[in-house]
Amino acid sequence: MEATERFVRGKGRYVGDIELPGTLHLAIIRSKYARARLLRVEGGISGRDLSAVIPDVGEGARGESWKIKQPVFATGQVNYLGQPVAAVYADNKYLAEDLMDSVDVSYEPMQPVLDEQEAMTAEPIHPGLNSNVATDQFIGKDFEEKDAEVVLDDAFKIGRIATDPIETRGILVNYDGSRLNVWVSTQAMFSIRNGLCATLGLPITSVRVMQADTGGAFGSKSAMYPEYAIAAFVSMKTRRPVKWLESRKEHLTASRPGRGVSGSMKLFAKRDGTVIGLKGEIIVNGGAYLDGLARFSPMFIGMQLTGPYAIRNGYIRAISVVTNTPPLGPYRGAGRPEAAFFRERMMDLLADELKLDPAEIRIKNATDQVFTNPFGMRIIGSRQFMTEAFDSLEYYKLAREPNGRRGVGISCFVLVPALMEGESCKLKVDNGRIKAWLGGNSHGQAHEVFVRKLIGSTLDVSTGVVDVQPGDTDMITSGVGVWGSRSAIVAGYATVLASQTLKEKVVKTKGLYTPEYLLAGNYEAEVLNEKFDDPSLNSFGANLVTVDVDELGEVTVEECRSYYDVGNALNREMVKGQIAGGMAQGISSVLYEGLIFSKDGTLLTDSIASAGVPPARELPHFVTGITEHPSSLPHGAKGVGEAPTIGVPPALVRAIEKATGVRIRNIPIHPEVLIGPKK
Amino acid sequence: MKISVNVNGRNVDADVEPRKLLVDFIRDDLHLTGTHVGCDTSSCGACTVLLDGVAVKSCTMFAVQANNRNITTIEGLSKGDELHRLQSAFIEEGGLQCGYCTPGMIMTSAWLLSNNAAPTEEEIRNGISGNLCRCTGYDSIIRSIQKASSDRRGGRK
């Protein structure tokens, strides 16, 4: 049965739905404070029973974790609200929750450091550190400022956001006496396998990870987490299956949130609108423990600051700091939206300063040919795309309409997909059917659709003979994961290459290829392709948003339109579905969402509603425009998943600014700043 | 406590703890795992079922409160192999991505259409605003519900 049919019938098999006899249910006792000395932990299992640290795996992993490692259980000191302190287990979740009261924890609260700017000068949160600054590097090259006729500076802040998939995290572990069998809701089964092995000191061969149906992720489900190690530890200790399902309240502090960045920008330009350089400083709130993604994030944001524009000079200080907040993770876009927000805000400021049209100033700074930016990133010519985009979005028509308290905003960006480490595909022909396994599998993107299509077209067989299998680390040698707008590109390419390998094998045995020879035989091919270095895989996008803002500061989004180059769309409806869903997240990241802590570190947004996940009545109808300029790969794919969370926020913020006359520097926007007559 | 409920047309007698939530009774005792849990504040609607034909969030009720009542879960909406028109419409219009909110969304939609055979877009937006979807941006869900409503008006299924 197709995945979509299973889902509408209620026959999905998410991790919470998998039942094994004798399963124990795990409950986690978590820190009540953002920062405190941990004086006593009595009862349950805790750091005395399991002393281990979380390795750097998953999206953005850099191999080695930072010098301060995240423990599975806090000992000595707790460093963020929700940090695991102890765990209990029982035959069902009600009894496990009852048992939580049997664990006695005493704390001595300390003043937390919550904000990235505050962290720069605050006393170090971790004993033994001299400073909260974890990484501090300059990228690009310093440059002379004397040619500039216009110099503009401004400072911005993007708050933390929870990823909030409707299915929270969850894991089921069954230790069978020799191996750990793991079912998990994840974007990256190999990261979870490697993470469990590293945390618990197990050989790779002793862990099998099977990806359950995964109910969304948006970045938070690729990392290794303490609860996974605890579940495995308890299963090994009790020789029983152990299940842990995250509550929503837990999700809001125990799963890695995204964003949390300050940026100050200085833009140098000529009076004709040509931008000649950009200087600035990026400070990323890495949370209490920094993995590779958190440490690389300020550089990743920095190198994308020129976006689709031919800005020749750039010099950026890129800083990551530790704070008493949950460890930073990726959230849809993961650095790309931050860079676009800072840059597009400055382009709008320049347009206002020079009294030029925002579209005109963007086209003026576009390129006609391949351009290498001051940070080494290559993009292809963007001018033609931008010209088409503003027409297609009907910008000129909408901008001319009388505005009152209405406003129109546009944005442009280049989506840099995460292609590093490639992806794998294994195909096996048997009994007239083709089984396919991927190294990274769907959590809502319907990989099976493009896999079947690419196998069908490459091998000239009906898509009906292809069975796409669930993710299973025992069934394929290696793999990476699903994030960074990568799957259509890397998993698609791996699928094409594996199909071509099958073809070659048929030719070798039969002298020529026919689909009949293929399906009559037994063939197998597995491919991990790793090398991607082609600026045609970066794709351009533009958004247009119109809003109406009333005097109470209530923003109504009227139009939200995209014009994205998606390469060869492997399935147009699914591409458009990705865009609409991403545009919703782009809007809510500006207007509704946010993780807000009080000064003492208490989470004020502790439900999915207060954290701002919007219902249908708060969102507009989306216009999902695409254009298809194929990439250089045989299947022509480019990325799309993150485009809307990159492009929508700056366009929306500009529209609000035009409607209200209030310069917007911080997102999410608190409505009180918009109250009152137009300025 | 002993309770007697009719679930998807089948009578069930059970002995449940008074504190057990209806959603846990449905999932853990009846093994009907199409009804999901997505939050702990009755905000997301993933646990929506019909109670005597009315959409309720099964995480806001105790199982004992369903005594002597009729429950329809997502598993009871189709007739064997034949999908309910809402289920077909969600597939045809791409009204789902990860699928996790889908059963609750479809149950709420069934209740919406039982009260209003031809809702406007605004009525649909309001009607499903107790159910959260993080993947679709809702447009494709609204199209799915519109399609199911026009299928019925057109006399199909």
Residues A435, A455 within the same domain: yes
Q: Is residue A40 part of a domain?
A: yes
Give the largest CA-CA distance in chain B: 47
Residues A525, A561 within the same domain: no
Q: How far apart are CA B15 and CA B2, in angstroms?
A: 4
Q: Is residue A298 part of a domain?
A: no
What are the pLDDT digits (tens) for A59-106? 888 777 788 999 999 999 999 999 999 999 999 999 999 999 999 999
Residues A541, A514 within the same domain: no
Residues A450, A391 within the same domain: no
- Local confidence band at B156 (pLDDT 50, 70, 90 cut-offs): very low
Residues A484, A566 within the same domain: no
Nearest to B131 by CA among A446, A609, A10: A609
Residues B46, A166: C-beta atoms closer than 8 Å: yes
- CATH assignment at residue A518: 3.30.365.10
List CB contacts (< 8 A) between A19 and chain B.
31
Residues A43, A61 within the same domain: yes
What is the three-class DSSP state of B53?
A: coil
Q: What is the DSSP string of A386-445?
A: HHHHHHHTTHHHHHHS--TTEEEEEEEEEE----TT-EEEEEEEETTEEEEEESS--SSS
Residues A478, A554 within the same domain: no
Indicate if the pLDDT at residue A214 is higher than 50. yes
- Local confidence band at B155 (pLDDT 50, 70, 90 cut-offs): very low
- Choose among B36, B125, B137: nearest Cβ to A584: B137
Which of the listed residues A223, A245, A267 is the one where a domain comes to its end? A245
The token pair at A241 is: 């299956």
Q: Mean of the per-residue pLDDT values for chain A?
A: 96
Assembly ipTM: 0.97
Q: How far apart are CA A351 and CA A119, in angstroms?
A: 34
Span of A180-184, A626-630, B79-83 with lowest mean pLDDT: B79-83
Q: How far apart are CA A194 and CA A205, in angstroms?
A: 10
List CB contacts (< 8 A) between A608 and chain B.
38-39, 41, 43-44, 132
List CB contacts (< 8 A) between B100 and chain A.
12, 14, 165-167, 215-216
Which of the listed residues A511, A529, A547 is the one where a domain comes to its end? A529
So where are chain B's domains? 2-76, 85-152
3-state SS string for A236-259:
HHHCCCEEEECCHHHHHHHCCCEE
* Residue B153: per-residue pLDDT: 60
CA dihedral A430, A431, A437, A443 (to 10 degrees): 180
- Choose among A8, A14, A443: nearest Cβ to B91: A8
Which of the listed residues A228, A245, A262 is the one where a domain comes to its end? A245
Residues A574, B94: C-beta atoms closer than 8 Å: yes
Nearest CA distance, A651 vs chain B (angstrom): 18
Residues A499, A556 within the same domain: no
Choose which CATH entry (3.40.50.300, 2.30.40.10, 3.20.20.80, 1.10.150.120) describes domain B85-152: 1.10.150.120
Mean pLDDT of A615-621: 97
Beta bridge partners of A36: A78, A109
What are the pLDDT digits (tens) for A296-347? 999 999 999 999 999 999 999 999 999 999 999 999 999 999 999 999 999 9
Indicate if the pLDDT at residue A215 is higher than 70. yes
Nearest to B34 by CA among B96, B64, B76, B66: B76
Amino acid at A554: E
B2-76: CATH topology is: Ubiquitin-like (UB roll) (3.10.20)
Mean pLDDT of A405-421: 94
- Choose among B17, B87, B100: nearest Cβ to A167: B100
* Residue A621: per-residue pLDDT: 96
Q: How far apart are CA A491 and CA A645, in angstroms?
A: 22
Q: How far apart are CA B132 and CA B47, in angstroms?
A: 11
Taking the CA atoms of A121, A126, A127 and A132 in sequence, report the sign of the dihedral they define: negative
Q: Is residue A205 part of a domain?
A: yes
Q: How far apart are CA A177 and CA A426, in angstroms?
A: 29
Q: Is residue A128 part of a domain?
A: no
Is the separation of the CB atoms in A219 and A483 below 8 Å?
yes
Q: Is residue A642 part of a domain?
A: yes
Residues A559, A584 within the same domain: yes
What is the three-class DSSP state of A316?
A: strand
List CB contacts (< 8 A) between A593 and chain B.
none
DSSP state of B65: G
Residues A399, A470 within the same domain: no
Q: How far apart are CA A563 and CA A393, in angstroms?
A: 7
* Residue B152: per-residue pLDDT: 66
Taking the CA atoms of A316, A322, A323 and A329 in sequence, report the sign of the dihedral they define: positive
How far is CA A386 from each of CA A135, A282, A364, A365, rounded to the nearest angstrom?
36, 27, 10, 10
Residues A622, B126: C-beta atoms closer than 8 Å: no
* Residue B157: per-residue pLDDT: 40
Residues A539, A477 within the same domain: no
- CATH assignment at residue A184: 3.90.1170.50
- Cis omega before residue A417 (within 30°)? no
**Cβ neighbours for B154, distance < 8 A, ≥ 6 positions apart:** none
Q: Is residue A159 part of a domain?
A: no
Residues A525, A539 within the same domain: no
Nearest to A373 by CA among A324, A436, A303: A303
Of A400 and B75, more confident: B75
Residues A615, B132: C-beta atoms closer than 8 Å: yes
The token pair at A264 is: 């100050």
List CB contacts (< 8 A) between A10 and chain B.
32-35, 73-75, 103
What are the pLDDT digits (tens) for A499-558? 999 999 999 999 999 999 999 999 999 999 887 778 889 999 999 999 999 989 999 999
Span of A200-204, A447-451, A530-534, A615-619 with lowest mean pLDDT: A530-534
Nearest CA distance, B86 vs chain A (angstrom): 9
Is the separation of the CB atoms in A440 and A482 below 8 Å?
yes
Is the separation of the CB atoms in A310 and A378 below 8 Å?
no
Indicate if the pLDDT at residue A203 is higher than 60. yes
Number of domains in chain A: 3
Domain of residue A460: give its range: 423-529
Sheet with A77-78, side-by-side order of all strands: A77-78, A36-42, A104-109
Q: How far apart are CA A43 and CA A108, in angstroms?
A: 19
Nearest CA distance, B139 vs chain A (angstrom): 6
Residue from A7, A244, A578, A613 whose CB has the most chain B CBs within 10 Å, to mutate: A7
Q: How far apart are CA A164 and CA A608, in angstroms?
A: 7
Residues B97, A216: C-beta atoms closer than 8 Å: yes
Residue from B26, B28, B30, B39 whose CB has the most chain A CBs within 10 Å, to mutate: B39
Nearest CA distance, B38 vs chain A (angstrom): 5
